[in-house]
Amino acid sequence: MNQEIKQAYPKAYHEIEKATADSGFTMASDVLTCSLLKTLAATKPGSTFLELGTGTGLSTSWILEGMDAESTLISIDNDDRFLAIAQQFLGNDDRLELVCTDGADWFEQNGHLMFNYIFADTWHGKYLLLNEAINMLKPGGLYIIDDMLPQPNWPDGHAEKAIKLVEDLEQRQDLVLTKQNWATGIIIAAKK
């Protein structure tokens, strides 16, 4: 088995990828992770989805590709320059709500919302406000994070934060989780 992705890429993916390169954004999820996000999204028909860290919308496009017509996705980011790329290529999808805000502010205002699927690809909901994110998961909901293997763009001291995050997730009694030494390092957890 090879890791080549032979399924169709989302319609706007290559346009977003070019705009991402032109913008200088370097924190996008890799395509293997994106493919997994699509597959996992397909397991949650009629569901509510949350993406923390839209970036330019590369991973967003794959999540949308896996969602059915009755599902909705809220995707938040604090950088309107990058979010504008996602808006340009994905903003016409009625299932998607793109929100430009600080993650902490968003959690404070929306802590009552519940989701079947959370992809945490930024500090808030992952390294910050982890409990708040997990508390927003419905029973059976999926919590997904990537970039848990050392990355070339990690700042000094980040490896220790990643190790601590994994330890914190492993100690939780409300999650069943799997760590994958694949792609950029992925953890998938299901809420009990």
What are the b/e assignments for 154-163, b being 16+ CB within 10 Å? eeeeeeeebe
Q: What is the Cα–Cα distance from 67 to 11, expressed in whole angstroms?
A: 14
Q: What is the pLDDT along the chain (192 residues), one digit of tens a residue?
A: 677 887 889 999 999 999 999 998 888 888 999 999 999 999 999 999 999 999 999 999 999 999 999 999 999 999 999 999 999 999 999 999 999 999 999 999 999 999 999 999 999 999 999 999 999 999 999 999 999 999 888 888 889 999 999 999 999 999 999 999 999 999 999 999
25: left (phi over 0), alpha (psi -120 to 50) or beta: beta
> Domain 21-191: which CATH class?
alpha beta
In the beta sheet, which residues pair with residue 91?
none
Please name the residues in contact with 187: beta carbons below 8 A apart, sequence gap of 6 or more.
Answer: 143, 144, 145, 148, 166, 169, 177, 178, 179, 180
Number of helical H runs and strand E runs in the chain = 7, 7
* Pairwise CA distance, residues 121 & 127, whole Å: 10
- DSSP H/E element including 188: strand 186-191
Give the start-to-end residue ranges of the domains of the chain: 21-191
Tell me the pTM.
0.95
